[in-house]
Amino acid sequence: MASQETRTTMSPAVRSSAADEPQRPTTRAWTTRLLVVGIVLSALNLRPAITSLGALLEEVRDGLGMSGSVAGLLTSVPPLCFAVFGVTAPRLARRFGPGAVVCAGMVAITAGLLIRPYAGGTAGFLAGSALALMGIAVSNVLMPVIVKRWFPDRVGSMTGLYSMALALGTAAAAAVTVPMTDALGGSWQTGLAVWAGLAAAAVLPWIAFVRRPGGAGKQEHARVEGTGASADAHARVEGAGGSADAHARVQAPTLRITRSRTAWALAVFFGLQATAAYITMGWMAQIFRDAGVAASTAGLLLAVTMVMGVPLAFVIPRVAARLPHQGPIVLALGACGLAGYAGLYFAPAGGAWAWALLLGVSNCAFPLALTMVGMRARSGAGVAQLSAFAQSTGYLISIPGPLLVGVLYQHSGGWGLPIALMAALMVPQMVVGVLAGRDRTVEDEAAR
């Protein structure tokens, strides 16, 4: 059963090379530990830029003079940036190495979070947000790639680890941004900028994986484009200095990913779950505040929704990796989402905590989608292409959702229509999720 977590095989060329190279267990252990720290710290920074804004959206709107429609545009910026910049991640990783690209991504997040509150005006705020989101976008795409390359026999558990860290960062930003802002003097600018400190800490572990003269970039290149050799074999290739011939041995041909029905199903599933997630992160606190819930409590309710992903983001990928078909999990998560939206529609304040819990469970479609990205391709190169395609296409699909919610909210004067839209989108999400969860690989479908 545990073998379901990996679908990779070691090529004869890599096995031969690995057998001839001296083992360096101490170096490998140190590198692996540092990589795990880097993955966790990076995952912690992949959502605070968004959920900290959701908690203070009303203050930001007042401070910058935004209308509801402009605020809806602001909540649509994350998926737009993820779609535009995420598609560049595999190419950047091939040129500079995935470690260097993630390191640069963390630097961009730090700079963007520092710049946007003090840029002055809506345009400057959007530009700073775009810079931070650009760093998040490339890191989003490369996390499954790094897990597949370095931990091919632990795809489910490592995906669960960084998904759990991602959910923890998301929840923490939602929960503490408002009280932290009050403690720091009540300025929303300070409350948003303080998260740059966490992003700066995430830069440090990745410095060791930045391309260096003498082959480090080639080593990373080999890992991101390899055919799925074991972690030990990759470490021994690394020990050889990452030569060009080693890279040639592990490079895989480019897939015609658009020929795969599973790739398209996974992209649409990713897009619809992202739509739900960004509507939730951008608007749920406002829904509760408009229902009469205090601002601090609304922030806590959003945090509860996000924190549900901490344990479930670790459990769901491990369970999913052991199942031949992930459809039942898709349906269970979708049912929780429908129940949560029904509660928001009929009694938003009365059962607020229950609706927050249900929507938190539903939002765990994100780690499930990431797990399926790792399972629906056999090789590291296939995962890189599938991750870029599914995430970029998915985020393009998700762009109109938060904006449309803002427009409907402003013109209808309430949350009835927006919540009905959210519930309606959950049905096709469940359908395509079942299709994406079938036991097959994009390599086989693209070959046909």
What are 347-366's pLDDT values in tens digits? 999 999 999 999 999 989 98
Q: Mind listing the pLDDT tens digit for each residue in 95-123? A: 888 889 999 999 999 999 999 989 878 88
**CA 226, CA 299: separation in Å to the nearest integer?**
43
Strands (E), 276-434: none
CA–CA distance from 301 to each of 14, 228, 383 (Å)?
51, 42, 35
Cβ neighbours for 55, distance < 8 A, ≥ 6 positions apart: 173, 174, 177, 178, 285, 298, 299, 302
Tokens of 199: 């992003």
Helix (H, G, I), strand (E, B) or coil at 415: coil
Residue in the structure block whose two tokens are 């998700």: 398
Alpha-carbon 266 to chain mean position? 14
Lowest-pLDDT range of 184-188, 278-282, 326-330, 341-345: 278-282
Q: Give residue 161's pLDDT.
A: 86
| 121 neighbors 14 (Cβ within 8 angstroms) | no
Q: Give residue 112's pLDDT.
A: 94
**CA 304, CA 360: separation in Å to the nearest integer?**
7
**Mean pLDDT for the stretch of residues 14-18:** 39
Q: Give residue 107's pLDDT.
A: 96
Helix (H, G, I), strand (E, B) or coil at 92: helix
**Mean pLDDT for the stretch of residues 60-68:** 79
**CA 282, CA 80: separation in Å to the nearest integer?**
14
| 278 neighbors 57 (Cβ within 8 angstroms) | no
| 433 neighbors 269 (Cβ within 8 angstroms) | yes
**CA 156, CA 393: separation in Å to the nearest integer?**
23
Cβ neighbours for 395, distance < 8 A, ≥ 6 positions apart: 79, 80, 82, 83, 86, 137, 270, 271, 274
**Mean pLDDT for the stretch of residues 20-41:** 72
**CA 436, CA 430: separation in Å to the nearest integer?**
10
On the question of pLDDT at 444 being above 50, the answer is: yes
- What is the Cα gyration radius of the chain? 21
On the question of pLDDT at 43 being above 90, the answer is: yes
**CA 283, CA 292: separation in Å to the nearest integer?**
15
Q: Give residue 29's pLDDT.
A: 80
Q: Mind listing the pLDDT tens digit for each residue in 167-193? A: 888 888 878 888 899 898 888 999 999
**CA 84, CA 140: separation in Å to the nearest integer?**
12
On the question of pLDDT at 251 being above 60, the answer is: no
Q: What average pLDDT is seen over the chain? A: 80
Q: Mind listing the pLDDT tens digit for each residue in 293-329? A: 987 788 789 888 877 877 887 788 889 988 989 999 9
Q: Name which of 365, 383, 314 is nearest 43 in CA terms.
A: 314
**CA 259, CA 275: separation in Å to the nearest integer?**
25
**CA 391, CA 306: separation in Å to the nearest integer?**
20
**CA 27, CA 204: separation in Å to the nearest integer?**
18
Lowest-pLDDT range of 113-117, 261-265, 392-396, 425-429: 392-396
Tokens of 299: 């922030």
Q: What angle do CA 369, 160, 52 make, to 5 degrees?
A: 80
DSSP of 263-319: HHHHHHHHHHHHHHHHHHHHHHHHHHHHTT--HHHHHHHHHHHHHTHHHHHHHHHHH
| Percent of residues, the chain, with pLDDT higher than 70 | 83
Helix (H, G, I), strand (E, B) or coil at 195: coil
Q: Give residue 24's pLDDT.
A: 46
**CA 377, CA 9: separation in Å to the nearest integer?**
12
Q: Give residue 26's pLDDT.
A: 53
Q: Give residue 368's pLDDT.
A: 93
The secondary structure of residue 399, as a DSSP letter, is T
**CA 340, CA 359: separation in Å to the nearest integer?**
5
Angle between helices 121-150 and 48-55 (to 10 degrees): 140
Higher pLDDT, 264 or 170: 264
Handedness of CA 86, 91, 94, 96 (dihedral sign): negative
Handedness of CA 19, 22, 26, 31 (dihedral sign): negative
On the question of pLDDT at 433 being above 90, the answer is: yes
Q: What is the pTM of this model?
A: 0.69
On the question of pLDDT at 155 being above 60, the answer is: yes
**CA 408, CA 390: separation in Å to the nearest integer?**
28
**CA 278, CA 83: separation in Å to the nearest integer?**
14
**Mean pLDDT for the stretch of residues 260-288:** 90
